[in-house]
Structure 1
Amino acid sequence: MSDFTVPKKAKAIIYSNPGTTATEIIDVDVPEPQDGEILVRITHSGVCHTDYSLATQTLGHVRLPEGQVGGHEGVGVVVKLGPGVTARQLGERVGIKWIASSCLTCEMCLYGYESKCTLRKVSGLGHPGTFQQYLVTNAQYATPIPDGVDSAKAAPLLCGGITVYVALQRAELSPGQWVAISGGGGGLGSLATQYAKTMGLHVLAIDHPSKADFCRKIGADAFLDFTKFSGEGADKALADEAKRLTGGGAHAILVSNSSSKSYDQALDLVRYGGTLVCVGLPEGSSPPIAGAVPSNMIMNRLTIKGTMIGNRKDAVECLKPLARGQIDPQVTVRPMSHLTQVFDEMHAGRIQGRVVLDMTKLE
C-alpha cells in the first residue's frame, strides 16, 4: 500500500540571484490544499529553456519576485485532497504544466486559449513552480499521466511536448510532406522530430554538427549543418542546400530555438505556399523576420503562424503517442543540485534532448 505520509518541510529550488543562473536549495513549508486543490509529491520536473530565460531575466521585460521557485514540467503523485475534490484520487500520477490553472469559463478558456485567460496562474512565474518536492495545484487542471509511462519521459511533454505537438498541427501538413526543424537536436526540436514522424512527415533537422547523429537517431530524414555556411552568400547557400535535401524546400518550418538568425533564414527554406511556425522566443531584442514583406508573402504565397503551448486537451493528446510507444523522449535525469549546471550547459548549447530533475534526489 502506498505511503501518503506528508512531511512538514520539504526541499525547493529558488532562483537565488535573478539575472544569473544561480540557484539554491532551501527548506519550505509543505502547503495545505484548499478547496478544489490537491497536494502533489513531485518526483520529476523537466528543465525548459524558458526556465533559463526567466532565471537570467532575458525573457523580455519579465521579472521574477524574490525567492521564486521555478519549473513548469512537473510529474508526481497525489498525496492529499483538498475539500470538495472528486476529479483526482490519492496515489494517482498527474502532471503540472506551464499554466497551473485558469478560470475555464471566460471566452479565451471556452475557445481553448487558456494561456490567455486573465485569471490564469503560471507555474514558476509569480506562482510556485515544480522545482520543489511538494506542490499544491488545481485538481481540475492537473493532467492525468497514463499508466505504464515513465515519469521522467512524461515530464518534458507537459510544456515542450504540448508546444511542438500544437505547432505541428498549426503547420497543417499532410503525410509525406517535409517539415524543417530549426534547432532539431534541442529540447523542443527533438520532441518535434518524433511527433512529426508519428504524423507521417519527412523531417529536415537543422542544428550544430555535434547533434547530427542524435537527430538521425530520433528519426530525422536529413540533417543540415548550419555551421558550414558563413560569409557572403551564406544564407542563399544554406537555402539552396535545404531545397536540395527536401526536393524544392520544406512545406513548413518550425523555428524551435531562440535564435533571431534562424527566423531570418526561415522563409528562404520553404517552398512556394510554405508555412513558418514561430515556436522559439528570441532572447533580448527581437528584430522583424527577414523576408516577411508583402511582396514576398504574396508572390510566394507564404504563411507565418505563431503558437504558444496548448490547453488541457492538448496535454492529454500529446501524451498518447508516448503511452503507445510511438515516441521516446531523449532525457537525461539529474539530481536537484544540478540545476545551475544545467542552465549553464543550456547557454553553451551542449544539451541534446531534454534534462529532467529527479526531485527525490539532492545530489
Structure 2
Amino acid sequence: MASVEVPARHKAIVYDNPGTVSAKIEEIDTPKPGVGEVLLNITHSGVCHSDYGVMTNAWSTLPFPTQKGQVGGHEGVGKIVALGSGTEGSGLKIGDRVGIKWVAGVCGNCIPCLDGADANCTSVKISGYYTPGTFQQYALAPANYVTPVPDSLPSDIAAPMMCGGVTVFSALSKSGAKPGDWVVIPGSGGGLGHLALQIGARGMGFRMIGIDMGEKEQLSRDCGAEVFLDLSNYSRDDDGTNKLVEDVKAATGGFGAAAVVICTASNAAYAQGLKFLRFRGTLVCVGVPEGDPVPIATANPGVILTHELRIVGSAVGNRKDAIDTLAMAARGIVKTHVEIQPMSKLIEVFERMEKGKLQGRVVLDLSG
C-alpha cells in the first residue's frame, strides 16, 4: 500500500445526541484503507439539509434512527493520502483530489444499480448515516466510487456539487423540460435551489421561475431566475395558494410550467406543485419534508389523467451525473454561492437552517 505521512488521530464532528440539534468535535482514530479503498484528507465539506434530517431523526423514510457517535456529512472534497490493496487498476494516485458523495458506495449488481439508479441500490451505503461521513479530516471511500475533481475547480466550490449539484442536475434531466420551457423552482435561494436555477438556465436552456422568501430574491435572480415570486406576499390559506398559482400561470403566458422541481423540504410546496403545471407537465420530487409528509393535495386520478401530468421521484444522481455536474462547474456554468465556516460553527449553521435563514450553501473548512 502506497501512502504519505498520516496522523494517528484526527478531528471529527460526531452527533452526540441524535434526535436533537447537537454535535461535538472529537479526536478519533484515523483508519487505514482496506481492499479497494482510498483514504482522503478532507479539506472541505458542504452542509446539506439532509445532514440536519439525519442528525435529528426527522425523516420517516430512513429505516433506523441515527446512532450516537455518528460522523455526519456527505459533501466532502480532499486529496488521496493512502491507497488500499486492489486499487491498482483504479487510475487513482496519491495526491489526486476527489469527492465523496451522499452515496458512499453501491453493490453494482442489484436492479437499481444496473439501471443507473445508484441511490436506490438495495445495499446502498450513505455517507454520514451508518457510514462515517465527511465532517472529519480523514475518511475512507471506495476507490471505484469517488469523483475526480477538475484541477480548475476550488475545493470549497466543488464540495456542494457532491450532493446539491448532482441532485438537481439529475432532477432537471428527469423533468422532461426542453430548451425554452418554463421550469419552477420552489426553494430557489437555498442550497439546492440556487444550483438548480443555474444548471437549468445556463446549462439546459430552460426559463426559470424562482419561489422563495424575499430576502433570497437577489440570489435567485443572480442565479438565473427570470421571474421571482416572494412567498411573503402570499397568505398560507387557499386564497394565497390560488394567487400564487395564478401568478405562475401568468408568468408562463397562462399555460403553466413544463416542470416543477421541488428543492425545499416544505409540505406546502408539494401541495401546490401540481397546480403550477401545464398540460403534460412534470412534478419532480427532490426535497424531503420532515416528519410525516402530507399527501400532494391535487394528486387525484381526475386531475392527473385530465392534464396527463407526471409525478417523478429523483434520488440524488449516479456517478456519471456527478462527473457531468463537475464538468459544468469547471466551465463556469454553475457556481456554488458559499459561506465558509469552521467546524465549530456547525450547530449554529443548523439553527439558521431550521429558521430558513441560509442562502446558498455553507461549507465547512476542516483544516482547523
- In the TM superposition, what is the alpha-carbon distance from 1:56 to its structure 2 partner? 1.1
Report whether the alignment pairs 1:225 with 2:230: yes
CA offsets per residue over residues 176-231 of structure 1, 9 Å max, x none? 11000000001111110010011111100000011111111111101001221214
Partner of 1:345: 352
Structure 1 residue 356, shift from structure 2 partner = 0.6
CA contact (8 A) 2:47 2:361 kept: yes
Match 1:73 to one of 62, 72, 75: 75
User: Please, which moves more after superposition, 345-354 or 319-328?
Assistant: 319-328
| 1:123-159 superposed Cα distances (whole Å, 9 cap, x missing partner) | 1110100000001111111111111101111111111
Q: For 1:81 and 1:294, how far apart are their aligned partners in 2? A: 54
> Post-superposition shift, 1:232?
5.0
Contact persistence 2:171–2:286 (CA under 8 A): yes
Q: Aligned to 2:98, which of 94, 97, 107?
A: 94
What residue in structure 1 maps to residue 65 of structure 2? 63
Deviation at 1:293, TM superposition (A): 0.6
User: 1:49-76 CA distances to partner (integer Å, 9 max, x unpaired)?
Assistant: 0000111111115411110000011100
Cα distance in 1 between the residues matched to 2:287 and 2:359: 16
Q: Distance in 2 between matches of 1:343 and 1:250?
A: 33
- Paired residues of 2:120 and 2:315 also in contact (CA < 8 A): no
- Which residue of structure 2 lines up, in the alignment, with residue 157 of structure 1? 161
In structure 1, the partner of 2:221 is 216
What is aligned with 1:203? 208
Question: Aligned to 1:315, what secondary structure does the other structure show?
Answer: helix
- Is 2:294 aligned against 1:287? yes
**Aligned mates of 1:146, 1:36 — CA distance in 2:** 23
Deviating more after overlay: 16-25 vs 106-115: 106-115
AA at the equivalent of 2:125: K
Instruction: Say whether residues 1:7 and 2:7 are aligned partners.
Output: yes
Match of residue 32 from structure 2: 32
Alignment of 1:54-203 (within 5 A): 54-60=54-60, 62-86=64-88, 87=90, 88-197=92-201, 198-203=203-208
Matched position secondary structure for 1:221: strand
Deviations 1:72-119 (A, max 9, x none): 111000001111212110000010011111122333222112222233
CA distance, structure 2, for counterparts of residue 163 and residue 232 of structure 1: 31
Listed as ranges, the matches of 1:348-363 within 5 Å are 348-361=355-368
Query: Structure 2: how far apart are the matches of 1:268 and 1:48?
Result: 28
Contact 2:234 2:241 in 1 (8 A): yes
Q: After superposition, what is the alpha-carbon deviation per residue over 1:218-268, rounded to whole angstroms, capped at 9, x for unaligned?
A: 111010012212145221111111111121221111111011111111111
Per the alignment, residue 341 of structure 2 pairs with 334
Amino acid at match of 2:327: K
Query: What percentage of residue pairs aligned between the two structures are identical?
Result: 47
Structure 1 Cα separation of the partners of residues 125 and 160 of structure 2: 19
Mapped pair 1:265 → 2:284: no
TM-score, reference length from structure 1: 0.97
Following the alignment from structure 2 to structure 1, what is the Cα–Cα distance between the partners of residues 38 and 266? 38
Contact persistence 1:157–1:319 (CA under 8 A): yes
Q: 8 Å contact 1:204–1:246 — kept in the other structure?
A: no
Structure 1 gaps of 5+ residues are none
Question: Equivalents in 2 of 1:219, 1:170: separation in Å?
Answer: 20
Letter in 2 for 1:180: V
Report the RMSD for the aligned CA atoms in angstroms.
1.2
1:275 positional shift:
1.1
Distance 1:64 1:356 in 2: 22
Distance 1:119 1:184 in 2: 32
Contact 1:255–1:280 under 8 Å retained in 2: yes
Cα offset, 1:288, TM superposition: 1.1
Aligned partner of 2:275: which letter? Answer: D
SS of corresponding position for 2:292:
coil
- CA change 1:232–1:127 in 2 (3 A) is closer
Alignment partners' CA distance in 2, 1:34 and 1:251: 47
* Partner Cα separation in structure 1 for residue 149 and residue 66 of structure 2: 29
